[in-house]
Structure 1
Amino acid sequence: MNPTDASRSRRRLVVMISAAVVVLLLVGVGVYGLVSGPRTTSSDPPPARPSPTAPGTTDRAPGELAPIPETDDPEEFARLVAEALFEWDTTTGLMPPDHTSVLLAVADPSGIEQAGLASDVAGYLPTRDTWVELRKYSTTQHLEITDVFVPEAWAEAEAQAQPGQLAPGTTAYTVEGIRHRQGIWNDKPTSSAHEVAFTIFLTCPPDGDPCYLLRLSVLDQPLR
């Protein structure tokens, strides 16, 4: 490979590592299904949430992803979700659906928002083909959180909602941070950093039950 070809190849790698993931075309809080009227009741119990592995245990198989710990603190939960959403390693043998499953495990236990959430998460993860390509360069990613806050726009959404349209304890947190990616090129480490922002919609029931995840905004189109 001549120097020109090598330079072009390296530029393609840097672009791949730095590129923002594909986003979904969603506009407004209402699109997320959060303000959709009172939920119908059912005699059937909601699906059980899987129990997380206790800290310090070794019940997980090698390469298996750790579950998101349960908490009734909304900001802590938002941080845990944000970290799980962005942290991945292409060398583990896992694929994007494995990471999606971790987020769906803490989704709305009624299942109402699950399909929408799965689509939201897909907008943050590389496609299968991109993942396979990134694996050639041992690419990893993690999020450095710089700020977490309830956006002013959420107060407007609450004000517009009719009584009973939002479950008690439902809120939104906008997360700002720096997405870091690392990889190997010609046996040498390479990395990139990219500022990101997004909003997490969640519910922390007032009775002290664990928080659960509703939906995600489009990446880099958060509520402010």
Structure 2
Amino acid sequence: MDPAAPDDRRRRRVLIAATAAGLALLILVGVGIYGLVRGPAAPTDPRPPSERPSTTAPPVTPDSTPGNELEPLRQNLGPEAFARAVATALFTWDTTAGHTPSDYAQVLADAAHGSEADAFVGDVRAYLPTTETWAQLRQYATRQFLTIDEMFVPEGWETAVDQAAPGQIPAGAIAYTIEGTRHRDGTWGTTPVEASRPVAFTVFLVCTPPTPGRGAASGSCEVLRLSELDNPLR
């Protein structure tokens, strides 16, 4: 896919900065054609209080090695592979790598569909730690990643497509519900610690078909929205 126009990227970066300063997340019931329910709870540590690290641990200095840049999302992978890439980017971060939650959000925002970009950024921020939580997690060199167990087009999406009025759903739109496990690891003092929990969510995207004779790589995808975490479309 051709790089976004400078004005588009500048607008998205301004949007990320504004969101990082504090976005008032509203509970949206039945957003457009997607029927999403937004308003997830703030990220929490899955371990019981007795097993959580003490906040008195010595701070960890982030790695600010030059050239340690986040890779952009490839948007010419095809619908299923692109949805998998979005899910991986959404859950993969490292507090010691010299990046902020806004940096990770920016990677996803750069692959957003124009008409839903503002709302999608709000979806992304709900999945990432707040600035305050990030600072706490960084004390323990916390990293996070996702393993995907199952990925499928939900029946609810197929029903929505069947019942939609002509032109109501964008051409090339599709939804994938993803079920997997969120993993976190870090260091408590000198002791390695880790925690994991199951997660489920839905990625809504829109893709243009490949150009005949140019192969699958000529098509491209953009993200429309994300469902609330653990409240996927079934």
Cα deviation for residue 117 of structure 1 reads 0.3
Q: State the 1:207 CA deviation.
A: 4.5
Q: Distance in 2 between matches of 1:126 and 1:199?
A: 19
Provide the residue aligned with 1:199 in structure 2. 202
Aligned length: 175
Residue in 1 aligned with 2:220?
210
* Alignment CA distance shift 1:133-1:215 (3 Å): same
Aligned-partner residue type, residue 126 of structure 1: P
Is it true that 1:30 corresponds to 2:32 in the alignment?
yes
Q: Which residue number corresponds to residue 175 of structure 2?
A: 172
1:96 maps to: 101
- Counterpart for residue 107 of structure 1: 112
- 1:164 shift after superposition: 1.1
Gaps of 5+ in 1: 1-22, 35-60
* Partner in structure 2 of residue 44 of structure 1: none
Aligned to 1:219: 229
CA positional deviation for 1:29: 5.3
1:123 and 1:31 map into 2 onto residues whose CA distance is 21
- Distance in structure 2 (CA, Å) of the matches to 1:210 and 1:150: 19
Aligned pairs for 1:46-195 (under 5 A) are 62-108=67-113, 111-195=114-198
Q: Please say which of residues 152-161 and 197-206 is displaced more in the overlay.
A: 152-161
Amino acid paired to 2:111: V
Quote the Cα distance in structure 1 between the aligned partners of 2:155 and 2:30: 14
Aligned partners of 1:90 and 1:138 also within 8 Å: yes
Summarize deviations over 1:175-218 as a string: whole Å, max 9, x none: 00000000100111000011000000001112453111110000
- 118-127 vs 204-213, greater mean Cα deviation: 204-213
Question: Residue 33 of structure 2 contacts residue 169 of structure 2 at CA under 8 Å; is this kept in 1?
Answer: no
Higher mean C-alpha deviation, range 119-128 or range 202-211? 202-211
C-alpha contact 1:106 1:213 (8 A) present in aligned 2: yes
Distance verdict in 2 for CA 1:172–1:217, change over 3 Å? same
SS in 1 for 2:182: strand
Pairwise CA distance, 1:160: 2.6
* TM-score (normalised: structure 2): 0.70
Cα offset for 1:28? 3.5
The Cα RMSD (Å) is: 2.1
In structure 2, stretches of 5+ residues that fail to align are: 1-24, 37-65, 212-218
Amino acid at match of 2:197: H
Work out the CA distance in 2 between the residues paired with 1:89 and 1:115.
Answer: 25
| Distance across 2 between alignment mates of 1:153 and 1:94 | 37
